[in-house]
């Protein structure tokens, strides 16, 4: 394959790393034991808390999102206690499996994978748990495998209506710094994020935000733990905050990414994601008129602003479309994962993206639909342009 041009990464993670961030990371090793470096890290953590909308604690790990999952579980839930997990897709299921592997009882609540979860069903299960064995509800805000956004406020309301004390723990890995989120105001006790999605960094940093109820539960949690333990991460030195050598280059990159977000303004960042998502959805809606492809998420209001999952009629193979876009035209789209392997195409639209990139990616997708003979109403790109011109 001959590579020319820049190529486009339209994955729901990892996302594009801006040149500014790459340059900020390109430096020699530093002595992390200085007051200056401690200040740099503290400033980053404070800014992250602001984006999360919390006055709670921020714990930072040299880890993937999967690390954030484990950090939340081992600090909050003891062996032989239980969690409640709405089975929204591949990520919710993966988190539930991890809980099971840690000896935690898992109550999965089936959900329609094409719609936001039904809080009434959760409420029923919570009401039935009279002994309060359920310590936490684990929710994926944006379930990246389906492109469906699930509202943490609806889960909070179900917990309150049921009078159940379980913690609300939210995986915001695919929404953080891309869709608006207010941890404290929404009654979220613990929130998770990772570096390689809305934060525009390489994979490798995971963040866990803990409110007062979560901190209190962690203090009482009987589970043996060490690397992930919040109590061991209380020091003022960056070495203590990381429980080991801080990944210094990642912190320089994080500082730069946070500066970029601050310069744009978080409201403008969220508005940009919403606007680019509208353009993507306008194109998909147009193509879908011919009946061979459709929005996986059936409720327009619940379609995430960070990823759009597209389903296909029988006989159309999304993997062929994906391969042709990537190998023929240098545009990488996401595929189906978990139960949707081979059945979905996922268009990522989060992080460092602008109109030109999104229109380019949609143009290539329309070209590939044509080349592969997938029935579609032409004019998807035109519809996207109209959506962008409308505001
Ligand atoms: C990407 C993602 C993860 C996993 O993150 P890793 O860094 O790959 O471990 C978990 N949850 C959601 C919702 C995600 O989008």
User: In DSSP terms, which residues pair with 346 in a beta bridge?
Assistant: 309, 334
| Nearest atom in ligand 1 to 140's CA | 13
In CATH, the number for domain 8-15+265-389 is: 3.90.1150.10
94 lines ligand 1 (CB under 6 A): no
Cα→Cα distances 247→20, 60, 205, Å: 18, 11, 9
173 lines ligand 1 (CB under 6 A): yes
Q: And the tokens for 234?
A: 């209380």
pLDDT in tens, 197-242: 999 999 999 999 999 999 999 999 999 999 999 999 988 899 999 9
Burial class (CB in 10 A: 0-12, 13-18, 19+), 368: buried
171 lines ligand 1 (CB under 6 A): yes
91 lines ligand 1 (CB under 6 A): yes
Distance CA 214, CA 137 (A): 12
Distance CA 310, CA 343 (A): 9
Site of tokens 């970029």: 260
Where are any strands of DSSP class E within 51-133? Answer: 57-62, 82-87, 105-110
Does 8-15+265-389 match 19-262 in CATH topology? no
Confidence check: pLDDT of 88 > 70: yes
pLDDT in tens, 158-208: 999 999 999 999 999 999 999 999 999 999 999 999 999 999 999 999 999
> Which parts of 129-224 fold into alpha helices (H)?
152-162, 212-220
Q: What does the pLDDT read at residue 4?
A: 80
Tell how far the Cα of 193 is from the centroid of ligand 1, in angstroms.
8
Residue 137 banded pLDDT, cuts 50, 70, 90: very high
pTM: 0.97
53 lines ligand 1 (CB under 6 A): no
Closest C-alpha to ligand 1, atom 10: 65
Half-sphere exposure of 159 (CA within 13 A, CB side): 23
Closest C-alpha to ligand 1, atom 15: 174
What residue spans define the domains of the chain?
Answer: 8-15+265-389, 19-262
Q: What mean pLDDT, rounded, does the chain reach?
A: 97
CATH of 19-262, one of 2.102.10.10, 3.40.50.10800, 3.40.50.300, 3.40.640.10: 3.40.640.10
Tell how far the Cα of 157 is from the centroid of ligand 1, in angstroms.
26
Tell how far the Cα of 175 is from the centroid of ligand 1, in angstroms.
10
Mean pLDDT of the 128-135 span? 97
349, 150 in Cβ contact below 8 A?
no
Confidence check: pLDDT of 335 > 90: yes
144 lines ligand 1 (CB under 6 A): yes
Where are any strands of DSSP class E within 100-149? Answer: 105-110, 134-140, 142-143, 148-149
Residue 144: which of 172, 164, 163, 124 has the closest Cα? Answer: 172
Residue 259 phi/psi, 5-degree rounding, is -65, -40
271 lines ligand 1 (CB under 6 A): no
Q: What does the pLDDT read at residue 234?
A: 85
Where are any strands of DSSP class E within the chain? Answer: 8-10, 57-62, 82-87, 105-110, 134-140, 142-143, 148-149, 167-171, 190-194, 205-210, 293-295, 307-312, 331-335, 344-348
65 lines ligand 1 (CB under 6 A): yes
Closest C-alpha to ligand 1, atom 3: 65
Confidence check: pLDDT of 1 > 80: no
Tell how far the Cα of 65 is from the centroid of ligand 1, in angstroms.
5
| Nearest atom in ligand 1 to 174's CA | 15
172 lines ligand 1 (CB under 6 A): no
Tell how far the Cα of 375 is from the centroid of ligand 1, in angstroms.
33
Distance CA 329, CA 169 (A): 40
Q: Percent of the chain at pLDDT above 90?
A: 96
Residue 173: which of 262, 82, 71, 74 has the closest Cα? Answer: 71
């Amino acid at each position: 394959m001959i590579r020319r041009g820049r190529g486009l990464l339209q994955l729901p993670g990892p996302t594009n790393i801006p040149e500014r961030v790459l340059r900020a990371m390109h430096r020699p090793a530093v002595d992390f034991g200085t007051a200056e470096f401690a200040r740099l890290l503290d400033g980053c953590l404070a800014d992250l808390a602001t984006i999360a909308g919390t006055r709670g604690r921020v714990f930072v790990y040299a880890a993937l999102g999967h690390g954030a999952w484990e950090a939340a579980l081992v600090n909050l839930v003891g062996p032989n206690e239980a969690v409640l997990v709405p089975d929204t897709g591949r990520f919710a299921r993966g988190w539930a499996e991890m809980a099971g592997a840690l000896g935690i009882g898992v109550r999965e609540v089936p959900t329609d994978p094409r719609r936001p979860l039904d809080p009434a069903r959760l409420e029923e299960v919570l009401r039935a748990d009279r002994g309060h064995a359920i310590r936490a509800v684990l929710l994926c805000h944006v379930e990246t495998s389906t492109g469906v956004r699930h509202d943490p406020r609806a889960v909070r309301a179900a917990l309150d209506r049921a009078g159940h004390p379980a913690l609300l723990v939210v995986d915001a890995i695919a929404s953080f710094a891309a869709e608006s989120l207010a941890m404290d105001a929404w009654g979220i006790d613990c929130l998770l994020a990772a570096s390689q999605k809305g934060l525009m960094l390489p994979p490798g940093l995971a963040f866990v935000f803990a409110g007062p109820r979560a901190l209190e539960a962690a203090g009482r949690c009987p589970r043996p733990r060490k690397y992930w333990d919040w109590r061991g991460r209380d020091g003022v030195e960056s070495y203590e905050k990381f429980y080991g050598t801080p990944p210094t280059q990642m912190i320089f990159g994080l500082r730069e990414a946070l500066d970029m977000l601050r310069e744009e303004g978080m409201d403008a960042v969220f508005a940009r994601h919403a606007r680019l998502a509208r353009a993507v959805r306008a194109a998909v809606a147009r193509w879908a008129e011919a009946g061979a492809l459709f929005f996986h998420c059936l409720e327009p209001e619940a379609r995430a602003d960070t990823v759009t999952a597209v389903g296909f009629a029988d006989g159309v193979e999304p993997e062929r479309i994906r391969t042709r876009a990537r190998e023929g035209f240098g545009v990488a789209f996401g595929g189906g994962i978990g139960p949707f392997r081979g059945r979905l195409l996922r268009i990522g639209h989060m992080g460092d993206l602008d109109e030109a990139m999104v229109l380019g990616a949609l143009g290539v997708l329309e070209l590939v639909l044509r080349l592969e003979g997938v029935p579609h109403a032409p004019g998807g790109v035109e519809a996207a342009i109209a959506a962008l011109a409308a505001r």
